[in-house]
């Protein structure tokens, strides 16, 4: 296939000119993430309707002007599962991508498999088989082979064509605005999560309270700074489970910390005094508040109720031809039920307002679930042998009164 390799600074103006002239771009990246603090960008692929560029950021010191064009307001950028592409663009420019179109998400909005691989989507929509030979390639090694470069170029070659097909289908389904809203929301959430301290997302943390949480935060901040300085994965500095275990014990004595299983190898032993200092600071620090602590104050719905409403959400999604995993999770359903059970309601401007009552999700799922929750409608088995055996039926009067959600 035909593509242009950009591996010298002198070639960059030609790429910038082509992008400036285009209103639609496909974008993908190749990176390595397993042995560094943040993913290491190794290749940036960009396609217009006419050509494909593979830009080598390891040989061109500064490609910031290219990123700035990708986050401009006057062109659409098409990706597939573009999480890292969003973050690369944000790190380079401090901005989100204003007109982002993720083909994986678009397919889910149309009732297709979600998440679906790029290869599956190429086969489904274009009848093209995608090569898999370079899936585990070393993208840091230079020079890149012809096979590597062609594999990377193919990742963006067909993105404009897929955009055209899916845009037509989204318009016909009256869901194009849904996708646009979701791209803004998801980028905002992703960027916000990257900018916030991540200590509150450690697994096993909800069993701790009080000063133990302050110790966790101090250990996490120390680990994060060291990982950033050494450009290594945080888990290689100190594992998540060891942070929780050290905090649980609450001792700042390096000798006692050293007795914890998993802290015996030399790579950690030399940091025991620093770890002890983190524990000391945590013991003196105010108790931090984590997002799940705020949620825990809300009434929790009975487990069976949450399971039933989750099944009802899945039914509503499937009858409306949309992937349930796009609409919400069981946790989202639990928050929705908690909201309805709580007398003190919050408004849409509050972060605690249920996601399933926002935007298009409210009409698709939130409001119908409220009718089920209040007994106005029931979910029953209509045809056991059918692919969709369930149906909603009216129930009059409502089984029990609840305050209106208006």
Q: 244 and 306 share a domain?
A: no
Q: How far apart are CA 254 and CA 19, in angstroms?
A: 57
- Domain stop point among 170, 195, 220: 195
**Angle 91-359-106 (CA atoms, 0-180°, nearest 5)?**
60
Q: What is the pLDDT of residue 133?
A: 64
Q: 24 and 171 share a domain?
A: yes
- How many domains are contained in the chain? 3
Please provide residue 373's backbone torsions phi and psi, each rounded to the nearest 5 degrees: -60, -35
- Domain stop point among 195, 224, 245: 195
Does 144 reside within a domain?
yes
Does 228 reside within a domain?
yes
Q: What is the pLDDT of residue 266?
A: 72
- Evaluate the CA torsion angle 270, 276, 279, 280 in order and state its sign: negative
What are the average pLDDT values for consecutive 10-residue runs of the chain, which has 406 residues?
93 95 97 95 97 97 96 96 97 97 98 95 93 77 94 96 98 97 96 92 90 97 97 95 96 94 83 96 92 66 95 95 96 94 83 92 97 93 89 74 51
Q: Nearest to residue 46, comparing CAs of 67, 73, 72, 64?
A: 67
Q: 269 and 128 share a domain?
A: no
Please provide residue 76's backbone torsions phi and psi, each rounded to the nearest 5 degrees: -90, 135
Q: 174 and 215 share a domain?
A: no
Q: 306 and 170 share a domain?
A: no
For residue 260, say if its preceding peptide bond is cis, omega within 30 degrees of 0.
no
Q: 38 and 164 share a domain?
A: yes
Q: How far apart are CA 93 and CA 71, in angstroms?
A: 8
Q: What is the pLDDT of residue 100?
A: 98
Does 402 reside within a domain?
no
Q: What is the pLDDT of residue 404?
A: 47
How many CB atoms are closer than 10 A to CB 353?
15
Strands 40-47 and 24-32, bridge-based pairing = antiparallel
Q: 150 and 206 share a domain?
A: no
- Euclidean distance between the first and the last CA atom of the chain, given in angstroms as a whole number: 57
Q: What is the pLDDT of residue 388?
A: 85
Does 405 reside within a domain?
no
- Domain stop point among 195, 228, 261: 195
Q: 285 and 317 share a domain?
A: no
Q: What is the pLDDT of residue 398?
A: 54
Q: How far apart are CA 279 and CA 395, in angstroms?
A: 58
Q: 45 and 184 share a domain?
A: yes
Query: What counts of helices (H) and strands (E) characterise the chain?
Result: 20, 8
Does 92 reside within a domain?
yes
Q: What is the pLDDT of residue 297?
A: 61
Does 406 reside within a domain?
no
Q: 53 and 187 share a domain?
A: yes
User: For residue 218, what is the domain's CATH number?
Assistant: 1.10.150.80
Q: 183 and 72 share a domain?
A: yes
Q: What is the pLDDT of residue 323?
A: 96
Q: What is the pLDDT of residue 153?
A: 96
Q: Nearest to residue 406, comparing CAs of 350, 357, 365?
A: 357
Please provide residue 13's backbone torsions phi and psi, each rounded to the nearest 5 degrees: -55, -35
pTM of the prediction? 0.90
User: For residue 47, what is the domain's CATH number?
Assistant: 3.30.420.10
Does 400 reside within a domain?
no
Q: In which domain, by residue range, is 305 found?
A: 298-394
Q: 302 and 263 share a domain?
A: no
Does 43 reside within a domain?
yes
Q: What is the pLDDT of residue 134?
A: 65
């Amino acid at each position: 296939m035909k593509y242009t390799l950009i591996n010298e600074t002198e070639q960059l103006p030609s790429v910038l000119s082509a992008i400036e002239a285009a209103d639609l771009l496909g974008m993908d990246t190749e990176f390595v993430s397993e042995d560094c603090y943040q993913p290491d960008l190794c290749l940036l692929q960009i396609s217009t309707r006419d050509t494909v560029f593979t830009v080598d950021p390891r040989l061109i010191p500064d490609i910031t002007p290219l990123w700035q064009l990708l986050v401009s307001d006057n062109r659409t950028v098409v990706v597939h599962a573009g999480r890292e592409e969003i973050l690369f663009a944000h790190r380079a420019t401090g901005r989100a991508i204003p007109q982002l179109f993720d083909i994986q998400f678009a397919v889910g909005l149309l009732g297709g498999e979600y998440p679906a691989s790029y290869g599956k989507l190429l086969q489904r929509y274009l009848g093209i088989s995608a090569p898999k030979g370079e899936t585990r390639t070393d993208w840091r090694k230079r020079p890149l082979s012809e096979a590597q470069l062609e594999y990377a170029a193919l990742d963006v070659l067909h993105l404009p064509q897929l955009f055209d097909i899916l845009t037509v289908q989204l318009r016909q389904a009256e869901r194009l605005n849904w996708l646009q809203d979701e791209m803004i929301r998801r980028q905002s959430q992703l960027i916000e999560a990257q900018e916030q301290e991540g200590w509150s997302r450690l697994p096993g943390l909800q069993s701790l309270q009080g000063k133990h949480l302050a110790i966790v935060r101090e250990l996490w901040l120390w680990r994060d700074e060291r990982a950033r300085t050494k450009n290594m994965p945080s888990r290689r500095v100190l594992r998540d489970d060891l942070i929780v275990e050290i905090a649980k014990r609450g001792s700042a004595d390096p000798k006692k910390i050293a007795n914890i299983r998993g802290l015996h190898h030399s790579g950690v032993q030399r940091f025991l005094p620093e770890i002890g200092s983190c524990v000391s600071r945590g013991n003196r620090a105010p108790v931090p508040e984590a997002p799940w602590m705020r949620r825990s104050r809300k009434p929790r719905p009975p487990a069976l109720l949450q399971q039933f409403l989750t099944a009802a959400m899945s039914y509503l999604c499937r009858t409306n031809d949309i992937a349930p995993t796009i609409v919400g999770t069981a946790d989202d359903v639990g928050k929705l039920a908690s909201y309805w059970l709580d007398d003190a309601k919050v408004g849409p401007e509050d972060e605690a307002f249920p996601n399933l009552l926002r935007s298009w999700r409210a009409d698709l799922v939130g409001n119908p679930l409220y009718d089920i929750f209040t007994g106005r409608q029931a979910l029953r088995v209509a045809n056991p042998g059918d692919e969709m055996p369930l149906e909603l039926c009216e129930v009059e009067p409502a089984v029990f009164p609840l305050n209106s959600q208006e």
